[in-house]
Amino acid sequence: MSTKQINVVDREGQQHVVEWSADQSLMEVLRDNDFPILASCGGTASCATCHVFLEKEAFPSSGDRSEDELELLVETDTYIENQSRLSCQLGFDSSGEGATVTIAPE
């Protein structure tokens, strides 16, 4: 199965290299690596506790946000137009090798 490494910046600003397997969503990668995201809806795009920021340059190739995803994100206090995504909606193809993902504040 293919894997790649990405960089995750935690809420303290620390950067971590983690491995992403093709069968995981980004939310699952974060959860399995013990980052403190609640993901309380289990990945159904209905809680926004898995909010992350992508790099501006990488954002366009991450795919389109659904109406539900965008609605949830816009309601958060930390929404950034061209960077905010729900990590549960991001599959393996949404980010490249070496991409940097920042976990949004709670």
48 binds ligand FES (CB under 6 A): yes
CA end-to-end distance (rounded Å), the chain: 33
Q: Which two tokens stand for residue 47?
A: 């809680």
Among 8, 26, 29, 50, binds ligand FES (CB under 6 A): 50
Sequence-distant (≥ 6) Cβ neighbours of residue 32 within 8 angstroms: 24
Among 4, 43, 58, 91, binds ligand FES (CB under 6 A): 43
Among 8, 26, 30, 45, binds ligand FES (CB under 6 A): 45
Options 1-9, 15-23, 47-55, 96-104: segment touching ligand FES (CB under 6 A): 47-55
State the sign of the Cα–Cα–Cα–Cα dihedral 60, 64, 68, 69: negative
Of 55, 32, 53, 54, which is closest to residue 43 (Cα–Cα)? 32
Q: Which residues bind ligand FES (CB under 6 A)?
A: 27, 39, 41, 43, 45-50, 86, 88
